[in-house]
């Protein structure tokens, strides 16, 4: 019999060595971004998501979450290399496919039937963002309009379906949306809060952490319920 999986607590998450490393790298990276150090910031960026993935694997997190982090890492690395912007976007798009798939499999659609207003807010935010960016994007690089349209819809789907399952993950999905919107504003040549690079990374790293914690917590709760229901069958008793 496998050991029971207990729900996560903030203390157990914060004390895990991989999370400590992730947090330390995050602080160093944000400082380097603020100082505009270039290569040093790129190197620390490439280590951040792998550190979070180590935690996910160590606590027995979902495989789709590991896959999402892998594709996110591809996106992180590609975006640091000139000429690979679309490769980076494709990596993150695949990450969001993994996120959405996992949330749908864990009851997002049923949850959103009860909280339908989340879908309305998500679609309204997506529509407002695309409407704002469409013209300026066309002026800067018309070839990015369609990819950003599709990607932003996937990004919105992650945020919406995450809220349908777990509030912590939902906040993470919303922060992911904020982070990538800040990037899109820069691409479109529009103003954004300064220092822009710092805000992009702070919201992005918080997003990945909250998505991971929310997904692992949800899966652990599900495993605990499954084990509790299966125990009477193994012992010959009945479910209370």
Distance, CA of 205 to CA of 211 (rounded, Å): 10
Q: Where do we find the tokens 């009477």? A: 232
pLDDT score for 225: 47
b or e along 57-87 (b: 16 or more beta carbons within 10 Å of the residue's beta carbon)?
eebebbebbbbbbbbbbbbbbbbbeeebbee
pLDDT in tens, 166-200: 999 999 999 999 999 999 999 988 988 888 899 99
pLDDT score for 108: 97
pLDDT bucket at 82, cuts 50 / 70 / 90: very high
Give residues with Cβ within 8 angstroms of 192, minimum separation 6: 182, 185, 186, 199
Mean predicted lDDT score pLDDT of the chain: 90
CB of 173 closer than 8 Å to CB of 163: yes
Selection from 19, 21, 26, 23 nearest residue 201 by Cα: 26
pLDDT in tens, 87-135: 999 999 999 999 999 999 999 999 999 999 999 999 999 999 999 999 9
Distance, CA of 9 to CA of 78 (rounded, Å): 34
Share of the chain above pLDDT 90, in %: 75
Q: What is the 3-state secondary structure (H, E, C) of the chain?
A: CCCCCCCCCHHHHHHCHHHHHHHHHHHHHHHHHHCCCCHHHHHHHHHHHHHHHHHHHHCCCCHHHHHHHHHHHHHHHHHCCCCCHHHHHHHHHHHHHHHHHHHHHCCHHHHHHHCHHHHHHHHHHHHHHHHHHHHHHHHHHHHHHHHHHHHHHHHHHHHHHHHCCCHHHHHHHHHHHHHHHHHHHHHCCCCCCCCHHHHHHHHHHHHHHHHHHHHHHHHHHHHHHHHHHHHHHHHCCCCC
* Omega prior to 195 cis, within 30 of 0: yes
Task: Give this prediction's pTM.
Answer: 0.89
pLDDT in tens, 21-47: 999 999 999 999 999 887 888 999 999
Selection from 103, 78, 97, 105 nearest residue 89 by Cα: 78
Distance, CA of 138 to CA of 104 (rounded, Å): 34
Query: Between vectors from CA 169 to CA 184 and to CA 54, what angle results, nearest 5°?
Result: 90
Query: Between vectors from CA 85 to CA 84 and to CA 90, what angle results, nearest 5°?
Result: 95
């Amino acid at each position: 019999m496998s050991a029971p999986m207990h729900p996560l607590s903030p203390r157990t998450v914060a004390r895990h060595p991989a999370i400590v490393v992730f947090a330390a790298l995050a602080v160093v990276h944000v400082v380097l971004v603020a100082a505009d150090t270039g290569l040093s910031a790129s190197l620390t960026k490439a280590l951040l998501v792998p550190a979070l993935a180590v935690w996910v694997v160590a606590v027995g997190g979902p495989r789709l979450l590991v896959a999402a982090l892998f594709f996110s890492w591809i996106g992180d690395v590609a975006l640091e290399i000139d000429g690979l912007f679309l490769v980076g976007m494709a990596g993150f798009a695949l990450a969001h496919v993994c996120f959405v798939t996992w949330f749908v499999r864990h009851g997002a659609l049923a949850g959103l039937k009860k909280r339908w207003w989340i879908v309305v807010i998500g679609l309204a935010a997506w529509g407002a963002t695309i409407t704002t960016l469409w013209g300026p994007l066309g002026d800067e690089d018309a070839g990015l309009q369609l990819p950003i349209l599709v990607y932003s819809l996937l990004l919105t789907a992650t945020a919406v379906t995450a809220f349908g399952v777990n509030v912590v993950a939902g906040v993470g999905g919303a922060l992911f949306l904020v982070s990538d919107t800040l990037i899109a504003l820069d691409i479109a040549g529009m103003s954004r809060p300064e220092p822009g690079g710092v805000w992009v990374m702070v919201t992005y790293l918080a997003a990945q952490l909250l998505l991971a914690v929310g997904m692992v917590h949800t899966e652990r709760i599900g495993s605990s319920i499954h084990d509790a229901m299966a125990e009477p069958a193994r012992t010959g008793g009945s479910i209370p």
